[in-house]
Structure 1
Amino acid sequence: MSGSLSPSEGRPLWQGRTLALLGIVLVAFSLRSAVASLSPVIDHVAEDFPVSPVVVGLIGAAPPVCFAVFGLLTPLFERRFGLERVAVGALALMTLGLVLRGLSIDSVTLLAATAVVFAGVGAGNVLLPPLVKKYFPDRLGVMMTLYSTMMAVSTFIPPLVAVPIADSLGWRVSLGLWGLFAALALLPWLTLLIAERRAPKTARAADGDVEIDPTDGLHDLTDAVAVATGPITTVPANPRVFGRLWRLPMAWALALVFGTSSTMAYVSFAWLPTMLVDIGGVTPATAGFLLSLFALLGLPCGMLVPILVVRFQATRPLFLFAVAAGLTGLAGLFFAPTVALPLWVSIFGLTAIMFPLSLVLLSIRARTPESAVALSGFVQSIGYAIAAVFPLLVGLLHETTGGWQVPLLVVAGVLVVSIPAGIVAGRRRTIEDDWELRHGRW
């Protein structure tokens, strides 16, 4: 890292920044628990008021839509109000939405509350990496790994406990209790804001933000793991660079790989428990456990994939393995859903390989920080737009056909169609190389 970080070099992780450490961990936990806590108890909700497949599909489409929209809006708010104030606003939205979701009286209010939740989550996704860079510039690798691990943990815990809590205390408690963690995450940031207002101006100036190159040292293994945990969001993308990406096969290939990864995740979080109850004959509690198993596989994938890509250039083998695993798992669910159901879910869960794979490629498929930021914005905007379509489409197909065979075939089709994109993304060249091969000097 740059010499500007030397004052904090070797500084203990908690020294003078315990509140920031606690705040980042709690924010990371809240971001994913909101996504994974609803679908396991949707049958309990439906006992109180009807929830159509279209509404469930819209709820499944809400995360990628909000991630795309608020991924663009949050940097504007951050420049106006500052990281901590916008983080407090995002957490307040999450807390409000999670509580309101537990108080829903019909499918419209459930959908509206979910939209409020994911507005906050979308902003939080953008804010977390810059917060880590601001408070822990000397511990980027450790902190990125810590918060990515916490996000993985908070993805598989909610499906595991949602149904037992709903059975004993009701679905409203099962949904609303996650607002408690978002409310707890507010406390460290509110305390930091109050302390900042009381601190002398000279002290604040001396301890101001550190300007950090978001891709400084990206080709080091630790930073590659760090990049794989979240988007690059600390500097604005150059419109000229962004405009060129629309003409580059490499950029589109990365966007399609990211879109395929997000599609597998959000279709599963929206529909997998219901699907497993219908075709596998399991109880809602078991379906929630299997969704938790699906989510758990993201943890080892997130840790191992960046190492395999950076050290061994294993992009194509990893991608093709993920596609093959996804197709195998879907075939098992299609042809033998009542036999070895945990095995089929686990194999399908290996599609989680695509997420860290596509994110780490954002760092090594660009030469400069400027082009890396533009590529990140392009890939995630297109990818989340793709992912937003399929939870709703799966719901419509399920309602129209009355079964899960056609939706399973559509999901399998997404994996097959993505294969050429994965092959192109595996080319060992940057977007600058791609441009120069076709149009001359970058």
Structure 2
Amino acid sequence: MTMTSSDSRTGGRIRILAVVGLVLAAFNLRPAVTSLGPVLEEVREGLGMSAAVAGLLTSVPAVCFALVGFAAPRLARRWGTGGAIALGTVALVVGLAVRPFAGGTASFIALTALALAGIALANVLLPVVVKQRFPDRVGMMTGLYSVALNLGASTAAAVTVPLTGAFGGDWRLGIGVWALVAAVALPAWALLARERGPSEAAAGRASTTGAGEPGTRLTRSPIAWALAVYFGLQSTAAYVIMGWLPQVFRDAGLPADTAGLLFSVTALLGVPLSFVLSATAGRLRSQSWVAVVIGLFGFAGYAGLWADPAAAPWLFAVLLGVANCSFPLVLTMIALRGRNAATVVRLSAFAQSTGYLIAIPGPILVGALYEHDGGWETPLALMALLMVPQMIAGFLAGRDRQIG
């Protein structure tokens, strides 16, 4: 069948819409979490929340992402990838809009979980959108939405405290404003939900039936397990950083707005680095040593904080910002390790959902250790040590192998 000029123009418009949707969805993948860190002390006081429960709150993303991630392929089969992401965006907007007005800790956590369930769908399915819509530009497009993700994370971290101040010190309005930002992404995905191509439908069927690569069971694949462990350990580090890094700096004597800016640096660095890293990693046959080098930056950052957070806070923020680039790296590896979109649907769901299950205990343990010791030495030593298995898993996941 010959493609007409009208078909070509329609395809071009859909690709442009997909780019817009990717960027807007990615921008909203982190503010639900990063807006909390800088005002966590105020949230705890307002809700009567202990440090251990606050640690539980920082683990809620991992729980939601794990549970909802396993359901993402089935939802994508029924509603299409675009429809599933649109559904997730609605959940995100509702959760963020209602959460600030929660009457207690339980309802606050429940509404946070609703918002994060929406994010979980996009977390799993955005790599699939890249594979489906841009199979010849996997590294570049992964880099693009990683840039948007880091911009969203850093913006929320940097401006939530000033916004709270502008609203008369009301943290509820300071974090509630991010619902409006999330709502901007909804129209693009509502339109994309109507544009479900044959390759997307086939990928959805394969993700549910397990037919992506005949004879391949992900639970028996060393590559899939290496990706899952690497994803889980980098998620542990990411959510500890997002949930607790501002508090580490505040406990070291730095003011709240400075602590928020320092955290925003860790996310802001990912803006240029994520794009360059993903685009470069996408052209490499192996990403193993990239994962090791990134892990060494993380080890140095945690070691510096363990020694004295106030000694060189900007340096430590930069080191951890580089370490956070493990996230776009693992997304790129997931897309590269699968031979086609059908396999990537399954691999993304498996690696992310299993990885987030692995990540659940970390932030809770960090919060419990902080409350028990009254300081950060033990939690930071633990995080530094966890970089070792993360580097090993990253080395194994980055080898030039494909599933199938």
Shorter-chain-normalised TM-score: which range? 0.7 to 0.9
Q: Where does 1:63-102 land on structure 2 (aligned, <5 Å)?
A: 63-82=61-80, 85-102=83-100
Give the Cα–Cα distance (whole angstroms) in 2 for the partners of residues 408 and 134 of structure 1. 40
Contact 1:134–1:209, Cα closer than 8 Å, also in 2: no
Contact 2:226–2:394, Cα closer than 8 Å, also in 1: yes
Q: State the shift of 1:132 in Å.
A: 6.8
SS at match of 1:209: coil
Greater alpha carbon shift after TM alignment, 237-246 vs 121-130? 237-246
Give the Cα–Cα distance (whole angstroms) in 2 for the partners of residues 4 and 413 of structure 1. 56
What is the match of residue 268 of structure 2?
296
Q: Relative contact order, CA 8 A, sep 6+: which one is greater?
A: 2
Give the Cα–Cα distance (whole angstroms) in 2 for the partners of residues 81 and 364 of structure 1. 25
- Residues 1:397 and 1:141: Cα distance change in structure 2 (over 3 Å): closer
Q: State the shift of 1:114 in Å.
A: 0.7
Letter of the structure 2 residue corresponding to residue 209 of structure 1 = R
- Residues 1:83 and 1:344: Cα distance change in structure 2 (over 3 Å): closer
Q: Where does 1:300-319 land on structure 2 (aligned, <5 Å)?
A: 300-313=272-285, 315-319=287-291
- Residues 1:9 and 1:16: Cα distance change in structure 2 (over 3 Å): closer
Give the Cα–Cα distance (whole angstroms) in 1 for the partners of residues 255 and 94 of structure 2. 31
Contact 1:134–1:210, Cα closer than 8 Å, also in 2: no
User: Which of the residues 396, 413, 435 maps onto 2:368?
Assistant: 396
TM-score, normalized by length of structure 2?
0.85
SS at match of 2:199: coil
Q: State the shift of 1:60 in Å.
A: 1.2
- Residues 1:16 and 1:93: Cα distance change in structure 2 (over 3 Å): closer
Greater alpha carbon shift after TM alignment, 385-394 vs 16-25? 16-25
Q: Where does 1:261-300 land on structure 2 (aligned, <5 Å)?
A: 261-278=234-251, 280-300=252-272
User: Which of the residues 344, 348, 363 maps onto 1:376?
Assistant: 348
- Residues 1:242 and 1:4: Cα distance change in structure 2 (over 3 Å): farther
Q: State the shift of 1:137 in Å.
A: 8.9
Letter of the structure 2 residue corresponding to residue 162 of structure 1 = T
User: Which of the residues 184, 193, 197 maps onto 1:210?
Assistant: 197
What is the match of residue 409 of structure 1?
381
Contact 1:53–1:395, Cα closer than 8 Å, also in 2: yes
Q: State the shift of 1:164 in Å.
A: 1.1
In structure 1, the gaps of 5 or more residues are 197-207, 216-231, 433-442
1:236 counterpart = 2:207: yes
1:184 counterpart = 2:156: no
Contact 1:242–1:378, Cα closer than 8 Å, also in 2: no
Give the Cα–Cα distance (whole angstroms) in 2 for the partners of residues 82 and 12 of structure 1. 17
SS at match of 2:310: coil
- Residues 1:233 and 1:143: Cα distance change in structure 2 (over 3 Å): farther
User: Which of the residues 33, 36, 39 maps onto 2:34?
Assistant: 36
Identity, in percent, stands at 37
- Residues 1:257 and 1:235: Cα distance change in structure 2 (over 3 Å): same
- Residues 1:184 and 1:304: Cα distance change in structure 2 (over 3 Å): closer
Q: Deviations over 1:333-377 (max 9, x none)?
A: 111221111101111221123222222222443445554444333
Give the Cα–Cα distance (whole angstroms) in 2 for the partners of residues 328 and 137 of structure 1. 36
Give the Cα–Cα distance (whole angstroms) in 2 for the partners of residues 178 and 410 of structure 1. 32
Q: State the shift of 1:59 in Å.
A: 1.7
Letter of the structure 1 residue corresponding to residue 207 of structure 2 = P
1:353 counterpart = 2:325: yes
- Residues 1:173 and 1:58: Cα distance change in structure 2 (over 3 Å): same
Contact 2:80–2:196, Cα closer than 8 Å, also in 1: no
What is the match of residue 335 of structure 1?
307
Greater alpha carbon shift after TM alignment, 328-337 vs 232-241? 232-241
In structure 2, the gaps of 5 or more residues are none
Q: Deviations over 1:32-68 (max 9, x none)?
A: 2222111111122234232212222222111122122
Q: State the shift of 1:407 in Å.
A: 0.5
What is the match of residue 391 of structure 2?
419
Give the Cα–Cα distance (whole angstroms) in 1 for the partners of residues 44 and 368 of structure 2. 17
Q: Deviations over 1:272-293 (max 9, x none)?
A: 1111111x31111111111111
What is the match of residue 428 of structure 1?
400
Letter of the structure 2 residue corresponding to residue 182 of structure 1 = A
What is the match of residue 203 of structure 1?
none
Give the Cα–Cα distance (whole angstroms) in 2 for the partners of residues 122 and 399 of structure 1. 29
1:255 counterpart = 2:253: no
Give the Cα–Cα distance (whole angstroms) in 2 for the partners of residues 191 and 427 of structure 1. 38
Q: Deviations over 1:208-229 (max 9, x none)?
A: 63223799xxxxxxxxxxxxxx
Contact 1:58–1:392, Cα closer than 8 Å, also in 2: yes
- Residues 1:48 and 1:27: Cα distance change in structure 2 (over 3 Å): same
What is the match of residue 223 of structure 1?
none
SS at match of 1:246: helix
Q: Deviations over 1:268-325 (max 9, x none)?
A: 11111111111x3111111111111111122233212234334444623212211211
Give the Cα–Cα distance (whole angstroms) in 2 for the partners of residues 385 and 4 of structure 1. 45
- Residues 1:365 and 1:285: Cα distance change in structure 2 (over 3 Å): same
Greater alpha carbon shift after TM alignment, 28-37 vs 262-271? 28-37
Q: Which has the larger radius of gyration?
A: 1
Q: Deviations over 1:7-54 (max 9, x none)?
A: 6547696x5888776555443332222221111111222342322122
Give the Cα–Cα distance (whole angstroms) in 2 for the partners of residues 410 and 130 of structure 1. 34
Give the Cα–Cα distance (whole angstroms) in 2 for the partners of residues 115 and 414 of structure 1. 26
- Residues 1:325 and 1:23: Cα distance change in structure 2 (over 3 Å): closer
User: Which of the residues 116, 119, 122 maps onto 1:121?
Assistant: 119
Give the Cα–Cα distance (whole angstroms) in 2 for the partners of residues 312 and 192 of structure 1. 31
Letter of the structure 1 residue corresponding to residue 275 of structure 2 = M
Q: Aligned-residue CA RMSD in angstroms?
A: 3.6
Q: State the shift of 1:250 in Å.
A: 3.2
